[in-house]
Amino acid sequence: MMGRGVEATNEWGSIVNSNHQSEKIVSTLFFAGPPNPGALPNYTRHPSDNANNLWTDESIQFSLNQMKQIGINTVKVSYWGHDGETDRWATTLLFANKDWRNRATVLSESEIVSQATHFFQLVDENQLMFSPLIEVSPANPFYEQFPGNTGNMVDRIVWLVNNFGDQPGWLKVYDKNGVPRLAVWLIDTVHSSPINPNSFATGLDTISTKVEQATGKKVGLIIDPTPLPPYGSVFGPDPTAISKTQSVLAVNPFNITSQGASGQAERRISEDDRLAYAESVVKKWSTSPIPFITTLLPGYDAHIVFPSFGIYGFTDVWLNKQQDLLLKYSNKGISFDVWNGYTEGYEIVPTVEEGDRIYQWAKGVIGLINVPANIMGDYDGDGDVDLVDFGIWKGKYLAGNSTLVEFGVWKRGYLK
């Protein structure tokens, strides 16, 4: 499919999928599958409705409907691997090597693919989109291997694209040249030691090119330029260098509150200090040319598995300040992280401990950025139907990606 050159710049980072076209990305990281039995004793938050911890068609529909009800349109699906990594490290078991109903039974690759395919089909039936988020682990030490060795990451993405790339619900996003790409999130997109930023950025394009060579499909990356461990390395990603890549679709920093601007040890960091660090990260990347997705974290409590990391957030003051970051810096969307991270207190879903307070907060926040659906023809999402929107339609039409019907929608909105 041909790109649209400079004319497409305004759509860089925008949704391609027809049922959500030109909407902002409103995502949440979802740990899909039945709970890993080893994770249950480590919960610091517990779902109010046990349907959130079951894995039947009815319970999956229940969870997806909860997302739809507050305005989520994209489900980021955590992926650790399918060769036993999920069984060892994940809190849920969608890609597990062993059957969750009988842990003594080893699943074939086709069985793993089949159960994941069924979930992705349910996502699409609910008019939601999905995108994999590639986790780092001892089996995938991206922060050590990349960019010198891209093979591990390429292999993981190729497996996902070969098996699920034809699913209509996979989130597609326009790149800087107006070319649609399958979106893949990368967490902890950093290097563990000093490295040339241009080499790091070029490596991201290398990943995308190798995936296309292996699958015939264009993949784009949404990167996280923050370290997973507090005060970890941030070598590698640089706004200027990343903005020159062809394959990066957006920046979505994940770990923005685990440390403070002052450098204090985790348990002694004040919430103001954490928020100051979060704003420094958000400001750095949102003011770059790259589309930016703001992460909102309602709080953190992993006192069972990570007692040194501290407990913070969940208060009205914290939630209001998270909302302020969104209103001040977001341009392409939001990511609520995490939907069901019960072991670390990352959760949007209603819980025994928090009730539905955070769920309702998330709903309200989404309402602040969503353009009303009755603004017809507002293809750039700025709340106004004008000649810029006509230019967007024309570029898509000439590239074979739009119809005269969509022109009619613009015309009615413009003449209103």
Q: pLDDT band for position 8 (50/70/90)?
A: very low
Residue 37's Cα: distance from chain center in Å?
25
Phi, psi of 389 (to 5 degrees): -65, -35
How much is the pLDDT for 373?
A: 43
Asked if 212 and 147 sit in the same domain, the reply is yes
Residue from 14, 125, 65, 75 nearest 371 by CA: 14
Asked if 362 and 403 sit in the same domain, the reply is no
Q: What is the dihedral of CA 116, 121, 127, 133, to 10 degrees?
A: 20
More confident residue, 145 or 1: 145
Give the whole-number percent of the chain exceeding pLDDT 90. Answer: 73
Indicate which CATH number applies to the domain containing 164.
3.20.20.80
Residue 377 φ/ψ region, left for φ over 0, alpha for ψ in the -120 to 50 degree band, beta for the rest: left
Asked if 43 and 178 sit in the same domain, the reply is yes
Asked if 190 and 222 sit in the same domain, the reply is yes
How much is the pLDDT for 1?
A: 38
* Tokens at 104, concatenated: 């003594």
Asked if 56 and 80 sit in the same domain, the reply is yes
Contacts of the segment 121-125: beta carbons below 8 A, 24+ positions apart: 121/167, 121/169, 122/57, 122/60, 122/61, 122/64, 123/64, 123/75, 123/169, 124/167, 124/168, 124/169
More confident residue, 380 or 83: 83
Q: What is the mean pLDDT of residues 31-39?
A: 95
pTM for the whole structure: 0.87
For residue 403, the enclosing domain spans: 374-416
Q: pLDDT band for position 374 (50/70/90)?
A: very low
Asked if 380 and 365 sit in the same domain, the reply is no
Asked if 383 and 366 sit in the same domain, the reply is no
Residue from 63, 83, 84, 81 nearest 72 by CA: 63
pLDDT exceeds cutoff 80 at 198: yes
Asked if 165 and 50 sit in the same domain, the reply is yes
Average pLDDT value over all residues in the chain:
89
Q: pLDDT of 318-348, one tens digit each?
A: 999 998 888 888 788 999 989 999 999 989 9
Asked if 175 and 294 sit in the same domain, the reply is yes
Asked if 186 and 247 sit in the same domain, the reply is yes
Most confident of 1-15, 231-245, 261-275: 231-245
Total domains in the fold of the chain: 2
Q: pLDDT of 213-255, one tens digit each?
A: 999 999 999 999 998 888 888 899 999 999 999 999 999 999 9
Residues in the chain: 416
Asked if 196 and 320 sit in the same domain, the reply is yes
Q: What is the mean pLDDT of residues 105-125?
A: 97
Residue from 86, 84, 104 nearest 33 by CA: 86
Q: Any idea which of 96-110, 118-132, 263-277, 298-312 has the lowest mean pLDDT?
A: 263-277
Q: pLDDT band for position 40 (50/70/90)?
A: very high
